Structure 1
């Protein structure tokens, strides 16, 4: 029973309420800390290169076999080409305005990556995890995104040319103003995606049909 008006709580009850309040605060702080300390998926392959939270010039990655590398939080500069970065950890990697050419990122973790206005040419992202990635204004040409997870990604004004998005998970993604040309969307999931002003030219739509008059 709650105390009557004017009736004071006993010291024992006051103590219990105080402990409960402390427990709630501790739980909130714990959850907040877990969010702040969230890391990407790490590959435990022996000998994997470890370059987290560093500025990494393109020359350090180009034409190298770096499968399972840890580049979490790193900043990539220049144009990375001919690199094998399959299953690597690129959580929160920054490559804004940078370029990726013929790079294999199949199965890689690029969650929360920041690649606004990046240029991707001949990149393989099959089965890669790009949830919540910031890729507005990025240009994708001959890119394999089949089976990729793009849930919640920001793809505003992005361009896709001759790219494979079959069975890609685009639920909740922001594709406003995006342009897709000669690309394959068969089986892609677009539930809750923002599709205002998206244009489709010679695209195979999620239902398997060809785009008509710029629409799917």
Structure 2
């Protein structure tokens, strides 16, 4: 999927950034993958597993992450504005500088 060959601050940055805008990726297991700076705008990611996934700077605007597990994921600088995070688990996730404007938390 993403080939890593550049290194910044001890984190590999994919050379080829995944463009998954608007895709239906429900119930896919992305655990441990590096999707940093990728494009998941408007994607359906219901019940996905993203445990320990790198999502630094990733575009998740308007994505549906209902029931997703983002435990220990790195969301540093990710844009989740307008995303649906109903029932999403984020235990231990790093959320420094992430954008949560307009997120639907379900309450």
Report the TM range for the smaller structure's normalisation.
0.7 to 0.9
Following superposition of structure 1 onto structure 2, how do residues 140-155 of structure 1 map, counting pairs within 5 Å? 140-155=45-60
Say if 1:175 and 1:193, in contact at 8 Å, map to a contact too: yes
Cα deviation for residue 149 of structure 1 reads 0.2
What is the aligned counterpart of 1:117 among 8, 14, 22? 22
1:85 counterpart residue number? none
What is the aligned counterpart of 1:156 among 61, 68, 71? 61
Between the two proteins, the alignment pairs up a number of residues equal to 98
- Structure 1 or 2: larger helix share? 1
- Secondary structure of the residue aligned to 2:4 is coil
- What 5-or-longer segments of structure 1 have no aligned partner? 1-38, 43-89, 93-111, 202-213
CA RMSD of aligned residues (A): 1.8
Partners of 1:136 and 1:182 in 2: how far apart?
19
1:171 counterpart residue number? 76
1:135 counterpart residue number? 40
2:9 counterpart residue number? none
Cα deviation for residue 91 of structure 1 reads 5.7
Partners of 1:198 and 1:155 in 2: how far apart?
11
2:4 counterpart residue number? 41
2:91 counterpart residue number? 186
- Secondary structure of the residue aligned to 1:121 is coil
Q: TM-score, normalised by structure 1?
A: 0.43
1:62 counterpart residue number? none
Structure (1 or 2) with the larger CA radius of gyration? 1
Deviations 1:158-177 (A, max 9, x none): 11122110011000001110
Partners of 2:98 and 2:4 in 1: how far apart?
25
- What 5-or-longer segments of structure 2 have no aligned partner? 6-13
